[in-house]
Structure 1
Amino acid sequence: MPLLQFDTTLSLSADEKEALADRVTAIYTEEMATTAGHVAVTIREHEPAALHLGRAVEGPLCFLDAEIRQGRPFERKRAFALETMAYVGERFDVPDENMKVVFTEHPGESMMGVDRIGGEWDGDGDEGEDGE
């Protein structure tokens, strides 16, 4: 039940936001070996003065806070981060220096919806959710 939160200085149309959410959900499901139904994406736009990154160069900034279930290996997280940044960089012309991904990992039971409570990730694509 991940929550993928983008903070950016990009100014995106509704179609661009939908395309970003759809593509990142697809990348997440592929790289993290899961299904798409529980992936949540937020996109928050900010004025340029509201975001800062010390190494940034001229151009838009885009940060991703990926709130995920604990247990996935580093290699899966790194693959997701790299693929996501490659997409954002190519699609929205964001320089590599201006992107950052931060993972925050939670026990499965800390991730819930009205009809489900997350379980532990077991490595075979099963999110281990109860209540389905």
Structure 2
Amino acid sequence: MPLLQFDTTRSLSADERSAFAERVTALYTEEMATTAGHVAVTIREHEPSAMHLGREVEGPLLFLDAEIRRGRSFERKRAFALETMAYAGDALEIPDENMKVVFTEHEGEAMMGVDRVGGEWSGDGGDDEND
């Protein structure tokens, strides 16, 4: 039950937010070998003065805090981060220097919805609905 939280200084239209969330969900399911029904995405827009990155260049900022279940390999996480940032750079015109990804990993039972509690990631190719 991942929670992908994006903070940005870029203003997005409703259509841009929807398209971004849909594409990021697809990237997550692809790279993390899971299904889409439980992937949650938030997009929060901020004034430029509300965000800072020491290496930033001219242009908007985009930070991703990916709250995920533990068990994914470094390679899976890195592939998802790179694909997501490549997409954000192209679709939202955000410079590479202005993006950052942080993964926070949780035990499966720490991730829950009203109708279920997550278990440990099995890594069996994406059939795990409680991811």
TM-score scaled by structure 1?
Answer: 0.96
Whether the aligned pair in 1 keeps the contact of 2:6 and 2:43 (CA below 8 Å) is yes
2-side partners of 1:14 and 1:93: how far apart?
A: 17
Which residue number corresponds to residue 107 of structure 1? 107
2-side partners of 1:32 and 1:24: how far apart?
A: 12
Structure 2 counterpart SS, 1:28: helix
C-alpha root-mean-square deviation of aligned residues, in Å?
A: 0.8
The superposition leaves residues 23-58 of structure 1 with CA deviations (integer Å, 9 ceiling, x where unpaired) of 000000000000000000000000000000000000
CA separation of 1:42 and 1:11: change in aligned 2, threshold 3 A = same
- Runs of 4+ that moved beyond 6 A: none
CA separation of 1:128 and 1:16: change in aligned 2, threshold 3 A = closer
Which residue number corresponds to residue 42 of structure 1? 42
Aligned residues: 129
> What letter matches 1:69 in structure 2?
R
5 Å matches for 1:12-91?
12-91=12-91
**Identity value in percent:** 81
Whether the aligned pair in 1 keeps the contact of 2:59 and 2:98 (CA below 8 Å) is yes
> What letter matches 1:95 in structure 2?
P
Which residue number corresponds to residue 93 of structure 1? 93
Which sections of structure 2, spanning at least 5 residues, go unmatched? none
Which residue number corresponds to residue 128 of structure 2? 127
The CA deviation at 1:63 is 0.2
Which sections of structure 1, spanning at least 5 residues, go unmatched? none
